[in-house]
Amino acid sequence: MRIATWNVNSINARIDRVHAWLSANDCDVLCLQELKCATDDVPVESLRELGYEVAAHGTGRWNGVAIISRVGLDDVQRNLPRQPTFKDEIEPRAIAATCGPLRIWSVYVPNGRDVDDPHYRYKLDFLQTLGEVVVDDERPFAITGDMNVCPTDDDVWDRSEWKGTTHVSEPERAALADITGHGLTDIIPRALKHGKPFTFWDYRNLDFPKNRGLRIDLILANEALRTAVTDVYVDRNERKGKGASDHAPVVAEVNV
């Protein structure tokens, strides 16, 4: 079984690429983030014609998450239990489903914007709440998605360029460690090039050609899933060319 997580930065802007990627990559379960459209505006027909079921959760303009699967899509759950609000809204940032043997979450953690911004407190609250979804179970389980946190300094292209910013601060890393403390492992992908498995490169300043990247798209797997993983990699080819998302898919081969 092949699973993947991919922040597509608008599903409508990216649908041709997503369609082509699915056609070429034999993927069973794909978790998407940043749909940037309402649930009813997701181009589901393009995905269904490839044999996938779609569970989406979006309200338009920003955020939005989905799970698409060709191995079953049951018990869909939208939002975290007790998910924190921002400006009194519960934003569409989390969705879960059971896909065959696997229980999986697709989440888009708030950016935080700046360590002094209220959005940062919201981010920490969201991360704290996210740990509560972990179930103590024999069944393969994963939280995947754009965590907007670099787990270690190895996950930043240049630590000195990211001093005092979000994504690398100790409280964010501690909050992420609290999640993995529930029995999950950050499955670190192998790098296909340049030694570091970054998953995001800003569109600006030639960041991708210069490999100024971050590893923020993660697969957090429980023991049953972790031991079944036979390979994990970043599909950095998908970041190339015109019309790419600023994130690349993270792909895991799982023997379940």
User: Distance of CA 13 to CAs 42, 67, 244, Å?
Assistant: 11, 18, 9
Among 62, 72, 100, 228, binds DNA (CB under 7 A): 62
- Percentages helix, strand, coil for the chain, rounded to the nearest 5? 25, 30, 45
Q: Which residues make beta-bridge pairs with 77?
A: 96
Per the listing, tokens 């360590």 go with: 115
135 is a contact residue toward DNA (CB under 7 A): no
CA–CA distance, 232 with 213 (Å, rounded to integer): 18
Counting residues that bind DNA (by CB under 7 A) gives 41
Crossing angle of the two packed helices 118-130 and 170-180, in degrees rounded to 10: 10
106 is a contact residue toward DNA (CB under 7 A): no
238 is a contact residue toward DNA (CB under 7 A): no
Among 39, 69, 106, 166, binds DNA (CB under 7 A): 166
203 is a contact residue toward DNA (CB under 7 A): yes
Among 141, 200, 225, 250, binds DNA (CB under 7 A): 200
Among 53, 69, 106, 110, binds DNA (CB under 7 A): 110
CB of 97 closer than 8 Å to CB of 55: yes
Residues making contact with DNA (CB under 7 A) = 7, 9-10, 12-13, 34, 36-37, 60-62, 110-111, 113-114, 119, 146, 148, 166-167, 193-194, 200, 202-206, 208-211, 214, 216, 240-244, 246-247
